[in-house]
Amino acid sequence: MTDLHYLTIADAGDRIRAGDLKSRDLVEASLARIDTTDEALKSFITVLNDDALAAADDADREIAAGGWKGPLHGVPLALKDIYSTAGVRTTCHSRLLENNVPAEDAVSVAKLKAAGAVIVGKLATHEFAFGGPSFDLPWPPARNPWNLDHIPGGSSSGSGAAVASGQCAGAMGSDTGGSIRGPAGVCGIVGLKPSYGRISRRGIYPLSWTLDHAGPMTRTVEDCAHMMQALSGYDPEDAGSVDTPVPDFAASLAKPAAGLRVGVARAWFDGVDAETLAALESAVDHLKGAGMAVQDIDLPDIRDCHACGRLIILSEAYTIHRRSLAETPERYGEYFRDRARLGAFISARDYVEAQRMRQRLTTAMSAAMADVDILLTANQYGPAESFADSQRSFPFFGKPYPTMPFNVTGQPAVTLCAGFADSGLPIGFQLAGKAFEDDVVLRAGHAFETARGDLGRKPPI
């Protein structure tokens, strides 16, 4: 029998609705898992024991009275600690906000609570979703549950580690250049960067206004669909929000994936290690086995996408933090301080040209996808690196991030586990789709999971 803390959102929701499982029992299992593993994992900054148990009891009473709200009702979730939470500190993993207690929930948090989710805590991140993994902050960096000597990716580091290790059933991350999909790939879970404008970012501390995305991290695509149903929708007070219909994400998974056209971006495989390349080719075979039509495709140069996105992030991050960097630089960690300061050297002309280049790249990507529905690309160049190899001030000056292009274009992209390296560390890959076809991306991902089958592994922690 599956341990309660490893139940999927879908399975837990079904059992709670049927009366076979109480939310309190499930939340207690989540809190117990946190208690026994987090000294090693360092996934959480704040654990909400009393609040979570009270919310679980409320859920049980509501469901017993016939007020079941949906698959998230009574299920334990956690939040990257850049999401504002009313009355609960929101630190951004930084000394600068160590005692920051917001008055209101972020819109996405309020939506999760309205769907009945139980928030069990706030999760570690790279400082302000940009500076890490750092050892000079009030809290240590999260660790990879598959091997504690290795990173869990960033910047949604605690989210990836917590979901993979069974500390919570799902978590919220944010993604500006790959910060949902990177941790999902190296932790062996599912992470979706939705279409830009699909989920409100109001109440989430910004890194880059025009590239930030909020999204779910789960253990299955089905669970991701359930979270997306609760999270999606127009917010007129978020300047990036788009007023577009919200699909039935769960129903979309039941539609046939056979016949979907998949373009394989092999040029973006350049530089991946042999095990990752083998995993990518295996993923291609699974998609073919699911009845999808697969063909090679040429996309815009990934180096152009990376350079464009990096200029925008640095410009906007520096603008957000300019005053604090000037007045109290010592309150930041070294990595964030050094990285964000680079934005001071980017001119207004450079920034405008980057935004114009972004439009050209988006148009070129749309044209390249004219004859396909889905793209398959690398998510990473290899398994998670060790902490010893991760200590670099400017990692983005190396290889281009395979995740960055879809932040630039705003397209939805989901990361899934393709398999494992000989070391036992997970290997991820990406499926991306056309703008606001998030449901199609999840349908393809679900078909892949079904064809791949259960990998039968859980982290050794």
Query: Any idea which residues carry the catalytic annotation?
Result: 80, 155, 179
Do residues 425 and 397 lie in contact, with contact meaning Cβ atoms separated by under 8 Å? no
Do residues 164 and 459 lie in contact, with contact meaning Cβ atoms separated by under 8 Å? yes
CA atoms of 235 and 45, how far apart (whole Å)? 29
Q: Which residues of 323-359 are buried (b: 16+ CB within 10 A; e: fewer)?
A: eebeeeeeebbebbbebbbbbeebeeeebeebeebbe
Rg (CA), the chain: 20
CA atoms of 43 and 95, how far apart (whole Å)? 17
The token pair at 28 is 């207690």
How remote is the C-alpha of 80 from its chain's centroid? 10
CA atoms of 310 and 11, how far apart (whole Å)? 40
Residue 279: how many other CB atoms lie within 10 Å:
24
Do residues 132 and 394 lie in contact, with contact meaning Cβ atoms separated by under 8 Å? no
Q: For 359, how many CA atoms within 13 A lie in the half-sphere containing its CB? A: 5
CA atoms of 337 and 325, how far apart (whole Å)? 7
Do residues 414 and 192 lie in contact, with contact meaning Cβ atoms separated by under 8 Å? yes
The token pair at 314 is 């640095």
* Residue 62 CB burial class (10 angstroms; 0-12, 13-18, ≥19): middle
Cα-Cα end-to-end distance for the chain: 18
Q: What are phi and psi of 373, to 5 degrees?
A: -100, -30
Q: Which residues of 136-174 are buried (b: 16+ CB within 10 A; e: fewer)?
A: ebebebbbbbbbbebbbbbbbbbbbbbbbbbbbbbbbbb
